[in-house]
Homo-oligomer: A and B are copies of this chain.
Amino acid sequence: MNLTESNLYEELRRFLQDHQVTKNETQIEQHSHDESYHKASSPDLVVFPESTDEVSAVVKVANAYKTPVVPYGLGTSLEGHVIPYQHGITIDFSQMSKVLEVREKDFLVKVQPGVTRSQLNKELKKYGLFFSVDPGADATLGGMAATNASGTTSVRYGVMRDQVRDLEVVLAEGEVIHTGNLAQKSSSGYNLNSLFVGSEGTLGCITELTLKVYGIPEHVVAARASFRSVDDAVEAVVSILQAGVPIARVELVDEPSMKQANLFSETNYKEQPTLFLEFHGNEPGLNHDVEFTKEIVKDHHCEAIYFEDDNAARNRLWEARHNLAYAYVHGNPGKKLMVTDVCVPISELAGAIKHAREQVNELNLNGGILGHVGDGNYHILLMMDMDDPEEVKKAEQLNEQIVEYALQRGGTCTGEHGVGFGKMKYQHKEHGQALQVMEKIKLALDQREILNPYKLVHQKRNSL
């Protein structure tokens, strides 16, 4: 069939209501970008399905017309995942945002993809439960599964992939499948859960998620520890992990980032390289862990450690940490955010961060370093003037050097943000022949290449 925008619209209107299909300019603009520096590109249409059946019907039409389909949560992605470079239909999941079922006894919850993590946690609190993955942004759970998001708590509870028990997915021809089941473990068939988590909409659209949740810990203590140098802070983290302390969060914030945090969050934390820590457990066990950690950080020249065990101070601390990206954006009006996202084996972390700082200084860029150092994952936050081609070039050069360094040491080009458009160019270098396996899978499941094309993996890579 030949696509004309008007007959595509009419096809969709056969089963969607007027307010569910739009070409409204504001909506088109809103769905043309994410939170990154990547170039915007507009969808032809945005649809707002309210059920799996409607998503399936949309995808069937798209397949018939060979029109690209891009699933969209809240647009908080950082590598251009939701930008429709081939135009077509953007499926906005904001009208599928119900918490469908809380299975308290099974520590499971069933949600629609448009539910955000804070919405879910508000609901779960009633049951004494919480959802662990915490990427900072209040992203949708569909989006978080699509990119295999993680964040501050993954050192203890794992990443998004570890929480997904089952997904309902609409495939390229509109078929609806389930990728898992409700049992805690299974060796039945290929593990489709983990294949679809992190597939960034290139294999199907997630329409329902069953996720693992946890009991709110009996006791929680948070702490801030200031160090003379980033090196000391990182070495302290390595020692804490070595010692087997089951730390729940351990975040590094460097000196420039502490300044941004104080400015934005109106805190008055010491402006030194800082670890933000959190401990979960029963009281006696946790006290033991805390004492042990105090000794370890002292061995690494920690200059001061403050504990916050009341809720309000703890929330303030984590809010300051979470708002850091926004603090940078807010403090640099007109500029665009680029965030590097490599992850290295923990034994390589101190060297990697040192190398990163040297590169930032050498290129005369202005960037803060922070990260989920317990996982070996760190970010450089750069605010770029997109009208200054020199600055953009230097920032891209930095990103390349950082990735190259990580790959040479057994690391990955993206620890948690995903590939999207921005990390596609590193896929061959990172995966070698395995990239062909990914391409074969993509082609087997999406023969007409309508699902989020030119993202993650595609046949003509580097041709854009």
| Residues in A lying within 8 Å of B, measured CB to CB | 103, 105-108, 147-150, 154, 159, 161-162, 171, 175-179, 181-195, 197-199, 203, 215, 217-218, 238, 241-242, 244, 281-289, 292, 343-347, 375-377, 406, 409-419, 423, 426-427, 430-438, 440-445, 456-457
Chain multiplicity (copies): 2
Residues of B within 8 A of A419 (CB): 187-189
Further contacts, 20 of them, CB under 8 A, given A183-B345, A192-B434: A106-B346, A147-B187, A149-B187, A150-B187, A171-B437, A178-B434, A179-B434, A183-B375, A185-B375, A185-B415, A188-B419, A190-B195, A190-B438, A190-B442, A191-B194, A191-B195, A218-B244, A437-B445, A440-B445, A443-B444
Mind listing 18 A-B residue pairs with CB under 8 Å?
A105-B242, A150-B187, A159-B185, A161-B191, A175-B433, A177-B434, A177-B437, A181-B410, A182-B344, A183-B411, A183-B412, A183-B415, A185-B415, A187-B198, A190-B438, A190-B441, A192-B437, A285-B285
Docked Cα-Cα span, A107 to B185, in Å, equals: 24
A416 & B185 in contact (Cβ 8 Å cutoff): yes
Residues of B within 8 A of A195 (CB): 190-191, 194-195
A186 & B457 in contact (Cβ 8 Å cutoff): no
Least CB distance, A342 to chain B, in whole angstroms: 8
Residues of B within 8 A of A445 (CB): 437, 440-441
Least CB distance, A69 to chain B, in whole angstroms: 18
If A195-B190, A430-B189, A438-B192 touch, whether A183 touches B285 (CB-CB below 8 Å) is no
The 5 closest A-B pairs by CB, nearest first: A285-B285, A182-B410, A194-B194, A284-B284, A186-B412
Cβ 8 A contact of A282, one of B106, B285, B440 = B285
A187 & B148 in contact (Cβ 8 Å cutoff): yes
If A284-B285, A444-B441 touch, whether A414 touches B194 (CB-CB below 8 Å) is no
Docked Cα-Cα span, A281 to B406, in Å, equals: 33
B242 & A185 in contact (Cβ 8 Å cutoff): no
A414 & B186 in contact (Cβ 8 Å cutoff): yes
Question: Of all chain B residues, which has the CB nearest A176?
Answer: B433
Chain B CB within 10 A, most for which of A148, A198, A282:
A282
B416 & A188 in contact (Cβ 8 Å cutoff): no
Least CB distance, A38 to chain B, in whole angstroms: 16
Docked Cα-Cα span, A150 to B184, in Å, equals: 12
Question: Of all chain B residues, which has the CB nearest A287?
Answer: B284
Least CB distance, A14 to chain B, in whole angstroms: 24
B345 & A189 in contact (Cβ 8 Å cutoff): no
Residues of B within 8 A of A184 (CB): 343, 345-346, 375-377
Residues of B within 8 A of A162 (CB): 162
Residues of B within 8 A of A410 (CB): 181-183
